């Protein structure tokens, strides 16, 4: 039997219907947590609720880009459980398009979901998290440390998340709040399938070999460990760690390597001849 490291804890997970959020729900439930699962898909949330029967589960239809939805999520959590111990800001959206070609509404959508969704949920959960001396987790990205070509809106939103979380951590340095910036690196999930293209439509398929990436279940396990150890920052995958480290000292070199890697994707919007 697995150790119930989160027994008695109430955990909110946004974007819980698929990918990293889905696996976090499973892993945290196994650890004994009471769960509040938020996403836009009612069917997927209900299926997950039926799957996780060992501990209390509350599902709430939530569009994190709407402030009122985020407030409702927190209010319903308090109404049901009376406390919040961990908030996992996982809901996120990606894109793939050159800035010169993208409709600006795409960037606004990414900021609304990735950045403002994190801000809204954290704002309304904060008083409860301060009471419990709990944890705020932001699922950011390596793209929040080094900008990725053809991902301007995604990188900008993740940079914004990183700055917000870093500042929040400093503001609450002495009152017991734990703030963790969590950057998974390339993870097998549906984030690239739902990524937006230049006109705002979904990409519909992934341009990368998902089977070669870290599994969402492994990512969830690392997140749990980071929360239990109250780490400030967790960066996953060897490539992710190397990118963040190298970008500090050799940013121009890393930019060239990023361009090459992203240009090799099928149907890449980076129209450069890589032959030498």
**Radius of gyration for the alpha carbons in the chain, expressed in angstroms and rounded:** 18
Residues with active-site annotation: 154
| Cα distance between residue 41 and residue 62, in whole Å | 8
Residues whose CB falls within 8 Å of the CB of residue 205, separated by 6 or more in sequence, listed in order: 192, 193
Of 39, 38, 34, 138, which is closest to residue 85 (Cα–Cα)? 34
Chain-centroid distance, C-alpha 146: 16
| Cα distance between residue 14 and residue 121, in whole Å | 9
The bridge status of strand 86-89 relative to strand 57-61 is unpaired
Question: How many other CB atoms sit within 10 Å of the CB of residue 169?
Answer: 17
Distances (CA, A) of 241 to 194, 196, 235: 25, 26, 6
């Amino acid at each position: 039997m697995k150790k119930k490291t989160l027994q008695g804890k109430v955990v909110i997970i946004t974007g819980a219907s698929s990918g990293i959020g889905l696996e976090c729900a499973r892993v945290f439930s196994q650890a004994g947590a009471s769960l509040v699962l938020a996403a836009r898909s009612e069917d997927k949330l209900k299926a997950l609720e039926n799957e996780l029967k060992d501990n209390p589960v509350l599902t709430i239809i939530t569009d994190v880009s709407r402030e009122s939805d985020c407030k409702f999520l927190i209010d319903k959590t308090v109404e049901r459980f009376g406390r919040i111990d961990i908030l996992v800001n996982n809901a996120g959206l990606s894109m793939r398009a050159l800035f010169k070609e993208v409709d600006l509404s795409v960037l606004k959508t990414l900021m609304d979901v990735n950045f403002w969704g994190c801000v809204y949920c954290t704002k309304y959960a904060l008083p409860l998290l301060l009471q419990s001396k709990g944890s705020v987790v932001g699922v950011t990205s390596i793209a929040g440390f080094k900008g990725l070509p053809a991902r301007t809106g995604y990188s900008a939103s993740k940079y914004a998340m990183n700055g917000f979380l870093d500042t929040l951590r400093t503001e609450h340095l002495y009152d017991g709040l734990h703030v963790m910036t969590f950057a998974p690196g390339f993870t097998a999930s549906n984030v690239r399938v739902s990524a937006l293209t230049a006109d705002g439509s979904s990409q519909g398929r992934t341009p990368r070999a998902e089977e070669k990436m870290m599994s969402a279940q492994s990512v969830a396990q690392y997140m749990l460990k980071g929360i239990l150890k109250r780490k400030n920052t967790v960066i996953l995958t060897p490539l992710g760690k190397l990118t963040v480290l190298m970008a500090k000292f050799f940013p121009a070199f890393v930019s060239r390597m990023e361009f090459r890697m992203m240009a090799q994707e099928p149907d890449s919007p980076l129209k450069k001849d890589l032959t030498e």
